[in-house]
Structure 1
């Protein structure tokens, strides 16, 4: 058999999937390793998808998506970010991951550097490597509240640096960028002629702190920094988390002006267009009743509080989650420098699956990500089985 290219073979295993698939094979295991919302999809969303099938609305759509769906995404983005975007700059994509691949395929050439957060969602680095680029991790550390530092980013720049990946609210950390930091990150990108890809998959879920989109400070935004001569922020959105449509695969890229024709060509060469059925279901989610979102937000906040109560009782340190639906906890007292191996043993011995911190980069060693989106009783029971520092 002919060999695959080195840059493909070297793409690492996704450790989240590794532990989760192992857990699915263990009867009665408690799976806290994957972000799968626990609520049924809203009835009006399901009805819209089935109505599209009933009328045989199963044909191709434009590369960028159906006009009403693009307009609905633009309207939501305007409400949440304050950025009034033209629907013509919205591309409907097959979930945030395909949107990430589309954006990076358009911006990155082989040998280019992309700054990715560490800890950060694993497919950031995986996708860059798959395209022949070089993912350059920028460390997020406890001493700085796991927030990016401009001076650290500055020290990682090379003549090949092309893109800065940002993620707030963060998966896996649950951290949220404040307004001042977000503004400085956009200023940094403009000063160094970098693109920004801003992953805002969890924009609907923050706790006692607002979500701030980098697009606010980009050229054309309502609070554009003086350095912003032309727009360079691409925003990634998804309906997977906001409306529980993880398997429907529908999201959007909000792009700077002037990229429409280029992105349309790249979209044609990857997936052509998103399923019409998914788009009609997504349109119903975006424009219909929003009780799902408010109910989910209340549940995730309640689960966060229940989980931190257990960790407090056990004496386990964690990062205060301000957004998304994950809790980042320090198990270094038990993992002994091999959190990946420890999570496998913990699943085998105690029946609980947690995502190892190293799934998100080397800076995650000793930490685990806990998904807060499932049943409260399973969450509390699973965390109650964790070893406390005094007993490890």
Structure 2
């Protein structure tokens, strides 16, 4: 059998899926390893998708998506990010992961480098490698509250660096970039002539702090940095988390002007277009009642508070989650330097699945990601089984 190329063979295993699939095969396991919203999808969203099927709206759509979906995404992004956006710059994609692949397919050549957060979501590095690029992790460390530092980024830039990937609110950390840091990151990208790919999957869920989109500081934004002579921020959005539509695979890229022909060609060569029924469901979600979002936000905040109370009682350290629906906890006292193996043992022995920190990069060793989106009772019970540090 012919061999697969090295850049395909070397794509790492997603350790989140690894532990979660083991948990699904474990009777009565408490699954805290995956970010799957626990609420039923709003009825008006389901009905919009079903109505599209009932009228046999099952044909191809334009590569960039149906006009109502592009307009709805543009309106929400303009409102949430505080920028004036045009539907012509919105490309409807089959979820944030396909959007990430589409954007990087447009930006990278073989051997080009992408600056990625470490810890950061695993498919960032997986996608870069699959496209023949080189993932270059930038450090997020406890000593700096897991926030990126310009001096660290500057040391990593080479003549092959093409993209700075940002993720706020962060998966897995729950951290959020403030206004000044976001502005400085965009300024740095312009100074270094880099694209910015901003993953804003969790923009709807922050706690007592605002979400600040890098697009605010790009050329044409309301607070454009002086160095911004031409736009270079691409924003990735999804409805998977905001409205619980993980299985409908629907999201959007908000792009600088002029990229549409390239994106259309690449979209045609990958998935052509997104399901029409999913797009009509998206329109209903974006333009209809927003009760789901407000209910989910309250639930995630309450679960965060319940989880931190358990960890406080056990004297287990964690990063204060200011966004998304994850808690980043320090289990280094128990993991023996191999958190991936420890999570498998913890699942087998105690019936609880946690995502190992090494799923998100080498700097995640000793840490675990706890998903806060399920039932509060399961969350509290699962965390109560964690081993406490020695109190000697």
TM-score, normalization by structure 1: 1.00
Is the aligned partner of 1:174 residue 2:171?
no
Is the aligned partner of 1:44 residue 2:44? yes
Distance 2:287 2:83 in 1: 18
In structure 2, what is the Cα distance between the partners aligned to 1:84 and 1:60? 29
SS at match of 1:151: helix
Partner of 2:196 in structure 1?
196
Paired position in structure 1 for 2:355: 355
In the TM superposition, residue 390 of structure 1 has moved relative to its aligned partner by: 1.5
Shift of 1:391: 7.2
**Superposition pairs for residues 247-286 of structure 1, below 5 Å?**
247-286=247-286
Q: How many residues align?
A: 392
In the alignment, what sits opposite 1:13? Answer: 13
Structure 1 residue 48: Cα displacement: 0.4
- Displacement, 1:273? 0.3
Is the partner of 1:146 in helix, strand or coil?
coil
State the SS of the aligned residue for 1:247: helix
Q: Which residue of 1 aligns with 2:305?
A: 305
Q: Which residue of 2 aligns with 1:232?
A: 232
Does structure 1 residue 128 correspond to structure 2 residue 114?
no
Long gaps (5+) in structure 1: none
Following superposition of structure 1 onto structure 2, how do residues 75-90 of structure 1 map, counting pairs within 5 Å? 75-90=75-90
Residues 174-203 of structure 1: CA deviation (Å, up to 9, x unaligned): 000000000000000000000000000000
Describe how 1:141-156 pairs up with structure 2 within 5 A. Answer: 141-156=141-156
Aligned to 1:328: 328
Q: Is 1:370 equivalent to 2:370 in the alignment?
A: yes
For structure 2, which runs of at least 5 residues remain unmatched after alignment? Answer: none
Aligned to 1:103: 103
Equivalence for 2:139: 139
In structure 2, distance between residues paired with 1:388 and 1:79: 44
Aligned to 2:316: 316
Deviations 1:253-289 (A, max 9, x none): 0000111111111111111000000000011000000
CA distance in structure 2 between the partners assigned to 1:353 and 1:260 by the alignment: 42
What is the CA-CA distance between 1:325 and the residue it aligns to? Answer: 0.1
1:336 CA drift (Å): 1.1
C-alpha deviations, 1:234-255, integer Å up to 9, x for none?
Answer: 0000000000000000000000
**Residue in structure 1 matched with residue 287 of structure 2 by the alignment:** 287
| Aligned position for 1:55 | 55
1:222 — aligned with what?
A: 222
1:343 aligns with 2:370: no
Shift of 1:62: 0.3
- CA apart distance, 1:155: 0.2
Distance 2:215 2:226 in 1: 14
1:330-389 CA distance string (max 9 Å, x none): 000000100000000000000000000000000000000000000000000000000000
Name 2:184's counterpart in structure 1: 184
> Could you tell me how far apart the structure 2 residues matched to 1:68 and 1:198 are?
24
- Residue 131 of structure 1 deviates from its aligned partner by 0.3
Q: Deviations over 1:301-322 (max 9, x none)?
A: 0000000000000000000000
3-state SS of paired residue (2:329): strand
Distance in 2, matches of 1:101 and 1:250, equals: 14
Classify the secondary structure of the residue corresponding to 2:303.
helix
Counterpart CA distance in 2 for 1:24 and 1:124 is 25
Task: Report the 3-state secondary structure (helix = DSSP H, G, I; strand = E; otherwise coil) of the residue aligned with 1:202.
Answer: coil
| Equivalent residue number for residue 114 of structure 1 | 114
Residue number in structure 2 paired with 1:72? 72
Superposition deviation, residue 45 in structure 1: 0.3
What SS is found at the alignment partner of 2:148? coil
- Structure 1 segments of 4+ aligned residues over 4 angstroms from their partners: none
Q: CA RMSD, aligned part only? A: 0.7
In 2, Cα distance between the equivalents of 1:10 and 1:261?
A: 31
| Superimposed CA distance per residue, residues 72-116 of structure 1 (whole angstroms, 9 cap, x where no aligned partner) | 000000110001111000000000000000000000001000000
Quick one: distance in 1 between partners of 2:371 and 2:296? 13
